[in-house]
Structure 1
Amino acid sequence: MEMDAATFEKLVVDELDLLPEEMVQDLDNVVFVVEDRPEDGSLDLLGLYDGLALTERGHYGMGELPDRIIVYREPHLAQAENEEDLRHEVHTTLVHEIAHFFGIDDDQLHELGWA
């Protein structure tokens, strides 16, 4: 599947807007970023939480750089057969990375069916 960067970014924003309010209301000092690929150039990684989970924070406050949730465009496009598949994968990636922000690890995500 092919999609330019601007269209993909809009799709990510649209999917973010569809997430339940209770999932996103407590996100603090987090930015969402779309990049083409991970630094290693692979197509295996769909997203990344770059930050310190709430459960691992001690003192956190003013002057802290924001945590980042990165959604990788090319890996998503490589896995999706159509826009419906793409939207589903982006949604799942957003939920997965937001869960990491809240301190939910991959084992817990597997148990919940989100990894």
Structure 2
Amino acid sequence: MVEVEPERFEEMVTEALDGLPDELGELMSNVAVTVQHEAGPRGLRGLYRGIPLTRRSNFYAGALPDQITIYHRAICAMCNSEAEVVEQVRRTVIHEVGHHFGIGDARLRQLGW
């Protein structure tokens, strides 16, 4: 396990989001990304809650934002260096953003995420 200060971890999440291709960032809609500094649910490094873009219809108007949560302690617990944390944060952010675009876990695993 590696210790990463909360502020630095949040910077890593911001950097991962900023590293997404501009085309994807422009397509993201009504989604909030947050960091939970506790471990979160067992076995999870991140969690997407919401209605994926592919399932939204005319009835979606006025919905609360989707939420992507990145779990600080869970990620740090599996890493041995800050560089590993940076890479795991990037992978987790991409995985959860994939869910926002309607991509399921099985397909994300096939794609290497």
Say whether the fold is shared (TM-score over 0.5). yes
- The number of equivalent residue pairs is 110
**Cα drift, residue 29 of structure 1:** 0.7
Match of 1:46 in 2: 45
Q: Distance in 1 between matches of 2:6 and 2:99?
A: 25
Q: Superposed, which structure 2 residues align to 1:24-103 within 5 Å?
A: 24-36=25-37, 37-38=39-40, 40=41, 42=42, 44-58=43-57, 59-61=59-61, 63-103=62-102
Q: Distance in 2 between matches of 1:86 and 1:24?
A: 22
**Cα drift, residue 23 of structure 1:** 2.2
Identify unmatched segments of 5+ residues in structure 1: none
3-state SS of the aligned residue for 1:25?
helix
Moved over 3 A (4+): none
TM-score, normalised by the number of residues in structure 2: 0.90
Could you tell me which amino acid in structure 2 is paired with residue 96 of structure 1? H
1:65-112 deviation per Cα after TM superposition (whole angstroms, max 9, x unaligned): 110111000011001111111111111111100110111001111111
Give me the CA root mean square deviation: 1.2
Could you tell me which amino acid in structure 1 is paired with residue 4 of structure 2? M
Could you tell me which amino acid in structure 1 is paired with residue 78 of structure 2? Q
Aligned-residue sequence identity (percent) comes to 38
Could you tell me which amino acid in structure 2 is paired with residue 33 of structure 1? T
- Asked if structure 1 preserves the Cα contact closer than 8 Å seen for 2:35 and 2:72, the reply is yes
Match of 1:10 in 2: 11
